[in-house]
Structure 1
Amino acid sequence: MSTPSAEHAHGFTLRRQRAALPWSIAALATVIALVLGIVVIQQSNRPAVAASGAATSEVTGPLRVHYEPAMAGEEKILDFVAEEIAPDHGVEIEAVGIEDSVQSNRAVAEGSIHATIFEHQWYMKQVADANGFELTPTIELYQWAFGLYSTRYDSVEELPDGATLAVPTDLANQGQALWLLDREGLITLDPDIEPRTAKLKDVVDNPRGFEFTEIDLLSMARTLDSVDVAIGYTNLFDAGKVGRDKGILFPDPPRTFASRLIVGTQFADTPETQKLIEVFSDPRLEEYLKTTDDPLVAGVLTPVSAE
């Protein structure tokens, strides 16, 4: 086949447009530069990730931490952390009080509140399981003084056979109360169960014939005069204007019932959670619990026990 000539009978000439090539290369280079620039910007906006996989990007805005309003000492702890510790870690703590434990845990699970400090891991599990919440307990923070109160007797030894003892209705704290009595030799729990899970049906020996009644934890102080002994948290009796001189037994609570910094499971690895763990791990918090003379904290909220 022969090569056609440049001149055709159509009356026009075909020419190679060599001048357009440099413009095309320049345009392509510009597009590539723009794309690379966008990628660089996007990469710079992503949180940095440490070797462990935890996000380490800067936290902006206050970190909202929930406390139980009926537990006045918890707010005091958050005030101390917000004023004395958080600024040194470059963050702001905002205390949020919600009285409904279901709603507060829902807010943490959904992320509108970053964390809560008002519960131990077993109460958290009880609420989470009942409501389908995904929650994760992290570091231990402090413990609540927990013991026996009575307006009728001055010691455990004075309790008569058949005395009426009030224990919490919620199973997590009922387990703590019964375990306390078991450790003090006042009752015996079924040895085949984990003590923290104990229920009244798990009492296998009751040598003094104690009668048990279940009372809502928040109502213990109000009903104290109607029973021989009520078992619960010191701060709730304080809130109910029951003097601490009415406390007749305060053994160290088991470490497993320590307060935890609890977060929504889906937020466990966020920069906000990592920063909160950093702040609440600061040794100044433990020192504050050991040395404060604030009556809402001293003898009420204590450092985590050894066991």
Structure 2
Amino acid sequence: MKKIWLTFILVGFVIGLSACSSATSEEKRKLVFGATVPYSDMLKEGVVPILEKKGYSVEVKEFNDYVQPNIALDSGDLDANLFQHKVYLENFNKEKGLELIDVVSVPTAPIGIYSVQYGSLDEIKEGSTVAIANDPTNLARGLTVLRDAGLLKLAEEINPVTVTVKDIEDNPKNLKFHEVDAAQLPRSLESVDLAAVNGNFAVAAGLDLTTAIYRDQIPDEIQNRIVVRDGDKDQQFVKDIIESVESKEFLQVIDKHFQGFHKPKWMEE
């Protein structure tokens, strides 16, 4: 009698394990991405269709800030996100004690200097007004692109993620800075001489990225990346995401719908 009961227990245990395994497998066929605009559109148009062909069900959740997508990923509410570059990710991990990793870089909308008044950098007059973002992350990017355009000089020993106007060492054209909400930068062009606008906000406002009088060249560490939890790096769904991004189909979507985006080195090779 004991042997019979033991057999039932073992069979039940095996069935239970099988059920758990099936549930885990099924769960991983349902992926949730977090992204900001326009990267949510990039996922929907260029990545999701490929993953669906591979048998996944994919949901894309849009965020309007640069904090919650990482918090949600770490907590397990997301399986991956797309909105940040490597420098930001490394700083975020350090500050929050997280273990998130980037797995593949994607074409990135460059921050650009836009102007209604001027058609080139050479035309910018002394004392011109410049709109820059008022939040730390976008402010830093705005100042660094103004530096790269030769309009100002920043202190050499700076953290590229935390740069502020206090780090300006030389301002040869005596530019006057106006800090506004990053999403409002495109609208500010009506009241200032030029503005340093992040690519995502430029796209959202309908600006043509190719009309900027200067566009950030975006070094590799500033290219946006798809990010996952470190513990998932060897999971099949992560491998499938990478394969989707590196596909010819994804490149075709980029060339057709995301002109002006700076492609990562691997895509240009």
TM-score range, shorter chain: 0.7 to 0.9
How far apart are residue 62 of structure 1 and its match? 2.2
**1:304 is aligned to 2:229:** no
Aligned-partner Cα distance in 1 for 2:133–2:246? 29
1:77 partnered with 2:43: yes
Structure 2 partner of 1:269: 231
State the TM-score, normalized to the length of structure 2. 0.79
Tell me how far 1:118 sits from its aligned partner. Answer: 2.4
Name the amino acid aligned to 1:223. Answer: S
Change (3 A) 1:208 1:297: same
Measured in 2, the distance between the counterparts of 1:243 and 1:122 equals 26
State the alpha-carbon separation in 2 of the partners of residues 278 and 164 from structure 1: 47
**Contact kept? 2:131, 2:196, Cα under 8 Å:** yes
Structure 2 CA distance for partners of 1:287 and 1:154, relative to 1, 3 Å:
farther
- Once the two structures are superposed, what CA deviation does each residue of 1:261-284 show, in whole Å capped at 9, x if it has no partner? 234x5xx4249x834422331265
Instruction: Return the letter of the residue paired with 2:15.
Output: I
Q: 1:184 matched to which residue of 2?
A: 149
SS in 2 for 1:185: coil
| Residue segments in structure 1 that go unaligned for 5+ positions in a row | 1-26, 49-55
Structure having the higher Rg: 1
User: What code does the residue aligned with 1:77 have?
Assistant: L
Give the distance between the partners of 2:100 and 2:185, measured in 1 at CA. 29
Q: Once the 2 structures are TM-superposed, how far is the Cα of residue 104 of structure 1 from its aligned partner?
A: 4.4
- CA-to-partner distance for each residue in 1:133-154, whole Å, 9 max, x for gaps? 8462422332222211000000
Encode CA deviations 1:50-105: one digit per residue, 9 max, x unaligned: xxxxxx9565552111232xx2453143232121x214533222222244555544
The answer on whether the counterparts of 1:151 and 1:246 sit within 8 Å (CA) in structure 2 is no
Uncovered stretches (5+) of structure 2, i.e. residues with no partner? none
RMSD: 3.4
Deviation at 1:35, TM superposition (A): 3.6
Distance in 1 between residues matched to 2:250 and 2:133, nearest whole Å:
26
User: What's the % identity of the aligned pairs?
Assistant: 24
- 1:41 pairs with one of 12, 15, 23: 15
The correspondence of residues 141-220 of structure 1 with structure 2, limited to 5 A, is 141-142=105-106, 143-220=108-185
The aligned counterpart of 1:260 is 225
Residues 244 and 250 in structure 2, CA contact (< 8 A), matched pair in contact too: no
Deviation at 1:198, TM superposition (A): 1.9
Equivalent residue runs for 1:1-307 within 5 Å = 27-45=1-19, 57=25, 59-68=27-36, 71-72=37-38, 74-83=40-49, 85-99=50-64, 101-123=66-88, 134=98, 136-142=100-106, 143-244=108-209, 246-263=211-228, 265=229, 268-270=230-232, 274-282=235-243, 285=246, 287=248, 290-292=251-253, 296-300=257-261, 302-305=262-265
In structure 2, the CA distance between the partners of 1:32 and 1:60, relative to structure 1 (3 Å rule), is same
Contact in 1 for aligned 2:110/2:199 (Cα 8 Å)? yes
Q: What is the number of equivalent residue pairs in this alignment?
A: 264
Distance verdict in 2 for CA 1:184–1:63, change over 3 Å: same
CA separation of 1:44 and 1:283: change in aligned 2, threshold 3 A:
closer
Contact 1:140 1:260 survives alignment (8 Å): yes
Secondary structure of 1:198 counterpart: coil
Q: Deviations over 1:189-213 (max 9, x none)?
A: 1112233432211111222222222
SS at match of 1:219: helix
The separation in 1 between residues aligned to 2:150 and 2:26, in whole angstroms, is 52
Matched to 2:226, the amino acid is L
Rate the CA distance shift 1:290–1:230 in 2: closer, same or farther, 3 A.
farther
The residue type paired with residue 172 of structure 2 is P
TM-score of the superposed pair, with normalisation by structure 1: 0.71
1 CA distance for matches of 2:249 and 2:193? 35
